Structures are given as structure tokens and as C-alpha cells.
Amino acid sequence: EIVLTQSPATLSVSPGERATLSCRASQSVSSNLAWYQQQPGQAPRLLIYDASTRATGIPARFSGSGSGTEFTLTISSLQSEDFAVYYCQQYTSWPKAFGQGTKVEI
């Protein structure tokens, strides 16, 4: 079973700053990795799939990179609506696993 480890657990940043989130897989997932954003009280929303492809309607300030076991989600200039929890998820093999999340806070 593939385990995903996200870091840091909490990231404190200011509006307008750049945020870099990390996701590490316990074994290679190729580029089969997605990122989700979850606002309080809401369902997760797909941001990125195939490691670097933005989902429909996702602003260009969100970008994903990496392959194999190391992945990064970058938010180039944080807006107020970006303060949320972010999860990575692999879909190379079953069971599909999620990371434990990174909370981006002010």
C-alpha cells in the first residue's frame, strides 16, 4: 500500500506570498498524483491531476510539478480564498491513498 506524506503540516504565509507544499510517496506513482483544496465545511475540490494539469476553472496561480515519489504544489501569489487545507492523492494503485493534508493559514 502506497503511503503519501505531506509537509509541512501547517504553512503560515501572508496574502500575496508564494506557498510551496510537498507530497512524498513511499514508492513511485509515476505522474498519477492529484491535489485537492478543502475549505472549512466544504467538500474537497480537484485542483491538479496527472501531477501538473490544472482542473477546469482552476486559476493559473496554482501549479503542480514532480514525478515518481516527489511532488510539489505551488501557489504563486496567495489570495484570501486560498487559505485552506490541501491534500495530495495517488491513483497508481488501489487502495487510492490521500496524504494527511497541509493547512495553509495566515
Give the interface with other proteins as residue ranges (CB under 8 A): 32, 34, 36, 42-46, 49-50, 55, 87, 89, 91, 94-101
Nearer to other proteins, 79 or 93 (CB): 93
Nearer to other proteins, 45 or 61 (CB): 45
Q: What are phi and psi of 30, to 5 degrees?
A: 55, -125
SS3 82: helix
- Spacing of C-alpha 69 from chain mean position: 14
Nearest to 4 by CA among 95, 93, 90, 92: 90
Query: 99 near 90, Cβ under 8 Å?
Result: no
Please state the closest distance from residue 50 (CB atom) to other proteins, in A.
8
Residue 74 or 93 with smaller CB distance to other proteins: 93
Q: State in angstroms the smallest separation of the CB of 16 from other proteins.
A: 29
